[in-house]
Amino acid sequence: MEKQRHDICEVDGASELLCFLNGKIPIHICSSAPKDEILGLLRKFSWESFIKEIHSTSNKTDTINGILVYLKLEPHDIVFVGDGEYDEMAATQNGIWFIPRLGSGNNYATELNSVKNMYELISILMLDYAL
């Protein structure tokens, strides 16, 4: 049975980020949350069409490596935006640029190395990746 998360609100700029990236790059979700919970959130915000693949996993490091191999990408081709230390570890261990999202319950992100909303991420991607 699909678990609904009615308490989760959209991060500012998330819909705009997905629209901005749509058709430019494949978006993968790598989460320790169950797949049905992720699908429920995607449906709640009408984001299903933006996501290429969902990876529900307990080992994000191996999953990210598998994505790199499967898509024949180099670590510099990927940006990992996350809100937890396991996200950061998975990115770092694969040599991927990690951007923490401030204000999402993590206690290690600082204003100097993170984004507060997805509008900031759009600006970073436009500058660093010329998207």
CA distances from 92 to 15, 41, 64, 103 (A): 27, 27, 11, 21
CA quadruple 131, 61, 30, 89: dihedral sign? negative
Contacting residues for 69 by C-beta, under 8 A, at least 6 apart? none
Instruction: Return the DSSP state at 4.
Output: P
Contacting residues for 78 by C-beta, under 8 A, at least 6 apart? 64, 67, 68, 96, 97
Residue 1: per-residue pLDDT: 39
- Are 115 and 9 in contact, with CB atoms under 8 Å apart? no
Asked whether the whole model's pTM tops 0.75, one would answer yes
> What phi, psi does 60 have (nearest 5°)?
-65, -30
Closest CA to 114 of 92, 89, 85, 82: 82
Per-position pLDDT tens, the chain of length 131: 344 555 678 888 899 999 999 988 889 999 999 999 999 999 999 999 999 999 999 999 999 999 999 999 999 989 899 888 889 999 999 999 998 887 655 555 555 567 888 888 888 888 776 66
